[in-house]
Amino acid sequence: MGFSLLAGTRAPVRVWTDPYGIEPQAAKQLRNIGALPWVQGVAVMPDVHFGKGATVGSVIAMRQAVSPAAVGVDIGCGMSAVRTSLTAADLPDDLAGLRRAVEDAIPVGFAQRDEPVNPRRVRGLEQRGWDDFWRRFTDLDRRVAQLETRARRQLGTLGGGNHFIEVCLEQGGVDAGRVWLILHSGSRNIGKELAERHIAVARRLPHNADLPDRDLAVFLAGTPEMDAYRRDLWWAQEYARRNRAVMLTVLMNLMRDRFPQVSYDEPISCHHNYVAEETYEGVDVLVTRKGAIRAGLGDLGIIPGSMGTGSYIVRGSGNDWSYRSASHGAGRRMSRAQAKRTYSTADLAAQTSGVECRKDAGVVDEIPGAYKDINEVMAQQDDLVEVVAHLKQVICVKG
């Protein structure tokens, strides 16, 4: 599709969707971001929508500064996926038992584990770095010191909201019917607590006093506040990665126990709420992706739709205009409250027909109708990624 420029900004704000179709609140946010003196440029993904401080579906490149609200409170949230050797014919006709087994193996919603995960007892889990990772907890902001036990027990758990675990079937092509396992989760409560503490610190700094939106408050390079945020940020991003690795390994082992013949390709993993140090046009920048994945040349990524529409495995095109990024999903077209007012459980059952999943009032806000059309989103970013596989879920587990 290519991009257009959002009018009325100091730094270039490149948009991979119809700029006139962006909700007014989100457009105002994007103009506020583009006005910040530290911003090199902004790339707006086709799944863009209004968010806290910074817009969801925005990629912001800053010089010598970073805004914690431009990362979001679920630091390191992202996706993992793995293709199996199984096909649809290997799965049972009634998938309810398999769904229950997944829910029994991986705590969802507010649930946590009775005992922390021991990596040495998780068959096939990468063993490197665990001791050092947990040792570094004591270096984090002292205000989260009392949360270590909770953080340990929540490692390897899904959470709620739009987090999910799915068993999917590949659509079309020579591998049609191939079974994939995918999941979406982040840094759980510890990432949220760290993010909220640092956002509050940033709002109080004098250089942020005159911003158009105090939620866009930034940390500046070379300051103790920036150093503290980066330390906690890197740790929380690693927590999110390890959290998904534990769940995916548990899921793979569960499938191996039920289908001894299964084998797996190399797993794919990508953050979509995170910070990275990158260089564009010779300028070193801190890139925040809030609802966006890295799509460097050849990078594999995962772009989910909703609990009834499936997902895409993609390969990045390395487009520098987008800061080598692509959308993180379909993106919401209505708030959770509006979705609950608009749709019923009967609507949910109809829109998730053929998917073994919850169909109760507790997940109506996740109904497919509350999300943008994932196929339209993919068409708008065909210069950012190429499709490797189109997946359709047959099981969806939500918190």
Tens-digit pLDDT profile for residues 136-174: 999 999 999 999 999 999 999 999 999 999 999 999 999
pLDDT band at 53 (very low <50, low <70, confident <90, very high): confident
Q: Is the pLDDT of residue 260 over 80?
A: yes
Residue 72 DSSP SS3: coil
Catalytic residue among 184, 271, 328, 390: 328
Whole-number Å distance between alpha carbons of 289 and 57: 8
DSSP 112-160: --SS---GGGSTT---TTHHHHHHGGGGS-GGGGGGHHHHHHHTT---S
**Partner residues linked to 44 by β-bridges:** 15, 58
**Mean pLDDT (whole number) for 195-199:** 97
**Mean pLDDT (whole number) for 365-370:** 97
Say what the pTM is. 0.96
Whole-number Å distance between alpha carbons of 396 and 59: 29
What per-residue confidence (pLDDT) applies to 3? Answer: 96
**Mean pLDDT (whole number) for 106-118:** 96
Tell which residue, 106, 110, 135, 131, has the closest CA to residue 120.
Answer: 131
Helices and strands counted in the chain (H then E): 9, 17
Q: Is 328 a catalytic residue?
A: yes
Whole-number Å distance between alpha carbons of 40 and 60: 8
**Mean pLDDT (whole number) for 105-111:** 95
pLDDT band at 399 (very low <50, low <70, confident <90, very high): confident
Q: Percent of the chain having pLDDT more than 90?
A: 97
**Mean pLDDT (whole number) for 335-342:** 96
Handedness of CA 141, 145, 146, 148 (dihedral sign): positive
CA dihedral 245, 251, 253, 257 (to 10 degrees): 180
**Mean pLDDT (whole number) for 75-95:** 98
**Mean pLDDT (whole number) for 297-319:** 97
